[in-house]
Chains A and B, each alone.
Chain A
Amino acid sequence: MAHPPAAHRAPYMRVFVFLVVLTVLEVLLAFVLAASPAKVPMLIALAIAKATLVAMYYMHLRFESRLLRAIAVFPLILSIVLALAPSFDVLARR
């Protein structure tokens, strides 16, 4: 069965450039911001940006149905809950 043809030219190489730039940025920031409190949120944000780019363009989610996007997003929400609640617990008890 034919898949819908890639009528839209997905910008694979442009995404690649972004990914490389973001990775370099991450490594530099990790070094520069070493002890700063801004480090963790910034790096997480960069990582999320990279992951989103791969998911949206390479995994084609940008052009897929809402159902597939929901299947991808739902576990991410649960994962955040799973990571945050016990972390809050342990940080507040230290």
Chain B
Amino acid sequence: MAHAVISEPHATPTWQGITTLKFAWWLFLASEVMFFAGLIAAYIVLRAGSPVWPIVSEVLNVPLVAGNTFILIVSSVTMVQAYAGIQAGNQSQLRNMLLATTALGIIFLGIQAFEWSALLREGETAQSSLFGATFYTLTGFHGLHVTGGVVGLVFVTLKAFRAGYTQAEHGGVELMGLYWHFVDVVWIILFTIVYLI
């Protein structure tokens, strides 16, 4: 019996134009949605069941965080422009937009840290009230995910500066973008539920 050659080991398997890595990445993001769903559901249930809940606009600095929300949205735009850049083969757009995204991500975290320290100084801790517990847990886990994203962005940016991405091969940028937009989507929901409602 003739032996056929096993399919070329370096060809990335695809299905409907999606690579295995991108497909798996979306599965990972779906699981992360469920993780935040558990935390957000806990928040909603705890708040719905609480006879008293602080007036959020009096405890939290809504204008500051609204500004922070704007910053995160802008960082999503720069991220998508970075991706559009490398799709068109524009290395400098890729690099500049990645730098901008990373910087904006760091600023977001900085403002969040500032917000936290202000609250802690006012005595609002995770132990002092259910509001505090849920607030710090939700924003904390989101912040952890942003931090992970920033770390990823550093790696991707460095690789971009080493001309590691081309118009033909830039899967890593796409995956980074998907993760970063996901973090933005989670924040959109969190900001509304925790700060505005």
Contacts and interface: CB of A to CB of B under 8 A. Distances in A.
Q: State yes or no: do A and B touch (Cβ within 8 Å).
A: yes
Interface of A: 1-6, 10, 12-13, 16, 19-20, 23, 26-27, 30-31, 34, 39-40, 43-44, 46-47, 50-51, 54-55, 57-59, 64-65, 67-68, 71-72, 74-76, 78-79, 82-83, 86-87, 89-91, 93-94
B154 interface: no
Given A40-B197, A43-B196, A72-B26, A1 B12 contact: yes
A4 B174 CA distance: 12
Contacts of B74: 16
Closest 7 CB pairs of A and B: A79-B37, A47-B192, A90-B49, A30-B196, A75-B33, A83-B41, A86-B45
A1 to B, nearest CB: 5
Contacts of B16: 65, 67
B183 to A, nearest CB: 10
A39 B55 CA distance: 14
The prevalent SS among residues of B at the interface is: helix
Contacts of A86: 41, 45
A65 B19 CA distance: 12
A16 B167 CA distance: 25
Interface in B16-60: 16-19, 23, 26-27, 29-31, 33-34, 37-38, 40-41, 44-45, 48-49, 51, 57
- B: interface residue count bin: 35 or more
A82 B197 contact: no
Nearest to A13: B77
